[in-house]
Structure 1
Amino acid sequence: MLIIEKAPAKINLGLDVVGKRNDGYHELSMLMASVDLNDYISISEIEGDDIIIESNSHRMPVNEKNDVYKAASLLKERYAIQSGVKILLEKRIPICAGLGGGSTDAAATLRALNRFWNLELSCEKLQALGFEIGSDVPYCIQGGYAAVSGKGDIVEPLAVSISPWVVLVKPDFGISTPTVFKAINTSISRVNISSLRAAAEAGDYQQMLHYMGNSLEDITIIRKPFIQKIKDRLLKCGADTALMTGSGPTVFALCQSEKKADRLVNSMKGFCRQVYKVRVL
């Protein structure tokens, strides 16, 4: 038997750092959406009791450092599975990009193995398991539009009809997420997530654009000013808005028309090597 599971990338339409918790984690409030840039997880059974990871990307570890391996190992140990699996990870989402690549791969692995091993675990149970791997995994289990809060463990699906075109621009460098979070201070910008959510749920695209924002932009752009240049160029070329996703460094632009999105792609290809035209799912 072979199971193939799609693992879509995510963008943060809004990311607000509410404060720091007593346990050392930051309290976040976010509005997230999936886009149709996907990795793929393929699972097949093998003889023995091992977890074998293979990937088309030479940059991906194929051992216990990989989130796919962590997800498979967690399920296998928690539910005393005594059969082996081979997992092929086909990478299309850029690595270290703020697009949730590792998290969505782990989430897809949990979903696929839940079916493969006939575990019949609920979405909520998979999300709880996913949180043991990483804070974005619970959202990635669910996907779509969602309000995410707490440490990333509280995920509320939203009914949103807005489906703009998205142009993703990934510069040729990565960002250390822990480094960004360590630099958070009281002077960062705040984002009104409740108003953003209300606009999204009402289907008011212009109001949604007005309230979009990312509290981490100020920190990351100080370290990597080129991110601001990407934003400025996208806006100059006609993007409805341009915003960094996650802790960066990828910047995304929203466009209501595919024609405008195509123009943005053409204008950005000479500026950055990794440019993608996708759509909100």
Structure 2
Amino acid sequence: MRTLGIGKSVVINCYAKINLTLEILGKRADGYHEVRSVMQTIGLADRLEVEAAKELVFTCSDPALATTDNLVYRAARLLQAEYGVRTGAEMRLEKRIPVAAGLGGGSSDAAGTIVALNRLWDLQLPLAEQQRLAAQLGSDVPFFLTGGTALATGRGECITPLPPLPPHWVVLVPLPNALSTATVYGAVTPADYTSGVITADIVAAAQHGALLSQTRWYNALARPARALAPEIKAAQAALLRAGAQYAHVSGSGPTVFTVCQEEAEACKLAAALQHEGYHAEAVPFVWARWV
């Protein structure tokens, strides 16, 4: 996440993410699933601009998202309530990350709002306090306060930053039909559970500056996502036909992706997918973060 403050306005790039692993260990007493996941921010971002105002005003490039239920507005209201903030802000969101696509767009926007308003309103909140607030908005939101490469545990809200991975490129193939995260999690069965050892292995590799082979990556939500959206399987097949060695599902889907070492290879794959009628693009790993 990157910010630039100019006078009484702040501009934030709210980056998307992919899951290199997403393991579910089981269901907790509170109803959430216990997860182990390694996430990586990528060079696809929404743009959030906040400016001092008397009241909270939220607009979005997609008018259907400009509601009081949007995580941007909810994050602003949470900050006001927690710290007795009486001033407002005009918040303008330019969406580039597909909605309900498994890329964390809404969660990243929420984290960006916390960062931006913390600066605009001069709240001087430390990272730990921002993370506490972020966890109230969603399990993925705390991750986006640091970004880069990180291990997520608990229900996803407990974040341990990892050393930056070597530079890689991601070929993203978002699909038009959104998938609700709650719906996909609701379709998980014990057959999808694993021990967490795959994530432990990718963490160990990352701590030595390496990216674990994609043959080992696992996403517990891929099977239920494919069952709910069969077009995912077709997109994975198209990616493999184009020459990719692997085709993964990010988060709860339906976005399909692969990771390449070289930009040229990623761009070639994206072009091949575009020729088949898919909206595909190549973006790099990014490590912009807030500390």
Q: Which residue among 280, 284, 288 is the counterpart of 1:279?
A: 284
- In the TM superposition, what whole-angstrom CA distance separates every residue of 1:149-182 from its partner, at most 9, and x where no partner exists? 0011210000033221101101111112111111
Question: Are 1:73 and 2:77 counterparts?
Answer: yes
Residue of structure 2 in register with 1:195 after alignment: 201
Question: Are 1:253 and 2:258 counterparts?
Answer: yes
Amino acid at match of 2:206: A
Aligned-residue sequence identity (percent) comes to 36
Shift of 1:93: 0.7
Shift of 1:74: 0.4
Is the contact between residue 170 and residue 257 of structure 2 (CA under 8 Å) also seen in structure 1?
yes
* Structure 2: runs of 5+ lacking an equivalent: 1-7, 287-291
Q: Distance in 2 between matches of 1:273 and 1:187?
A: 31
Alignment of 1:18-97 (within 5 A): 18-46=25-53, 48=54, 50-60=55-65, 62-97=66-101
SS of the aligned residue for 2:275 comes to coil
Is the contact between residue 18 and residue 251 of structure 2 (CA under 8 Å) also seen in structure 1?
yes
Residue of structure 2 in register with 1:122 after alignment: 126
Query: After alignment, is 33-42 or 264-273 more displaced?
Result: 264-273
- In the TM superposition, what whole-angstrom CA distance separates every residue of 1:68-87 from its partner, at most 9, and x where no partner exists? 00000000111111112100
- TM-score normalised according to structure 2 size: 0.91
Alignment of 1:172-211 (within 5 A): 172-188=176-192, 190=194, 192-205=198-211, 207-211=212-216
Is the contact between residue 2 and residue 44 of structure 1 (CA under 8 Å) also seen in structure 2?
yes
Shift of 1:237: 2.2
Q: Distance in 1 between matches of 2:193 and 2:40?
A: 21
Is the contact between residue 171 and residue 272 of structure 1 (CA under 8 Å) also seen in structure 2?
no
Query: After alignment, is 62-71 or 100-109 more displaced?
Result: 62-71
Is the contact between residue 17 and residue 39 of structure 2 (CA under 8 Å) also seen in structure 1?
yes
Shift of 1:239: 2.1
Is the contact between residue 25 and residue 193 of structure 2 (CA under 8 Å) also seen in structure 1?
no
Shift of 1:240: 4.2
- TM-score normalised according to structure 1 size: 0.94
Q: Distance in 2 between matches of 1:189 and 1:234?
A: 26
Amino acid at match of 1:177: T
Q: Distance in 2 between matches of 1:202 and 1:240?
A: 24
Q: Distance in 2 between matches of 1:63 and 1:235?
A: 39
* Structure 1: runs of 5+ lacking an equivalent: none
SS of the aligned residue for 1:128 comes to helix
Amino acid at match of 2:168: P
Q: Distance in 1 between matches of 2:30 and 2:86?
A: 36
Is the contact between residue 149 and residue 165 of structure 2 (CA under 8 Å) also seen in structure 1?
no
Is the contact between residue 163 and residue 209 of structure 2 (CA under 8 Å) also seen in structure 1?
no
- In the TM superposition, what whole-angstrom CA distance separates every residue of 1:36-59 from its partner, at most 9, and x where no partner exists? 10111101112x3x2100111123
Is the contact between residue 267 and residue 281 of structure 2 (CA under 8 Å) also seen in structure 1?
no
Q: Distance in 2 between matches of 1:158 and 1:166?
A: 19
Is the contact between residue 18 and residue 41 of structure 2 (CA under 8 Å) also seen in structure 1?
yes
Backbone CA RMSD of aligned residues: 1.4
Question: Are 1:215 and 2:220 counterparts?
Answer: yes
